[in-house]
Amino acid sequence: MKYYIFLLFIVVTACKVSNQPMKKYSYDWLLGSWERTNDRSGKRTFEVWQKWNSNFYHGKSYTLSQNDTIYKEIKRLFYYDGKWNIEVNDKNGLTLFKAQKNIPNSFSVYNPDHDFPKEIHYWIQNDTLRASVGNDGEKNEFSFVKL
């Protein structure tokens, strides 16, 4: 009988879905003003990131064409309920992307219900801020240098 109780305990604990918090890394490598290096001709794209506290980063992105702003979005990277998330506010409204993966120099967030993108990934590579947005088969990559 003890064997069956022990076996049941092992099965139940092995099948339990983990809702453990993700490790909370600092994303201070995002901080500062960045300019995109792989932009389309005639356009200049910038990202500016600030740290408001250890749980909250504020970012804004904007694209200029002939010194006119043709696109802008506000991003809020925040730590909530044990996970990093991003809210993106652009011309289409507010969209929440939830943490999928985070490591010291990289994070990915995901929203399966959003049309495009479903996934956002940021990472630092040497002195270059890299980002990609995409979903099933379509991906756009961005490279930024610090100003």
pLDDT digits (tens, 9 = 90+) for 19-44: 556 678 899 999 999 999 999 999 99
Q: What is the mean pLDDT of residues 97-126?
A: 93
Quote the tokens at residue 66: 């002939």
Q: What is the mean pLDDT of residues 45-61?
A: 97
Domains annotated on the chain, with CATH: 22-146 (2.40.128.20)
* Per-residue confidence (pLDDT) for residue 59, from 0 to 100: 98
Write out pLDDT tens, residues 73-83: 999 999 998 89
* Per-residue confidence (pLDDT) for residue 101, from 0 to 100: 83
Residue listed under structure tokens 């694209």: 63
Please give, one letter per residue, the 3-state secondary structure of the chain: CHHHHHHHHHHHHHHCCCCCCCCCCCCHHHCEEEEECCCCCCEEEEEEEEEEECCEEEEEEEEEECCEEEEEEEEEEEEECCEEEEEEEECCEEEEEEEEEEECCEEEEECCCCCCCCEEEEEEECCEEEEEEEECCEEEEEEEEEC
Q: Which of 10-14, 20-24, 55-59, 143-147 has the lowest mean pLDDT?
A: 10-14
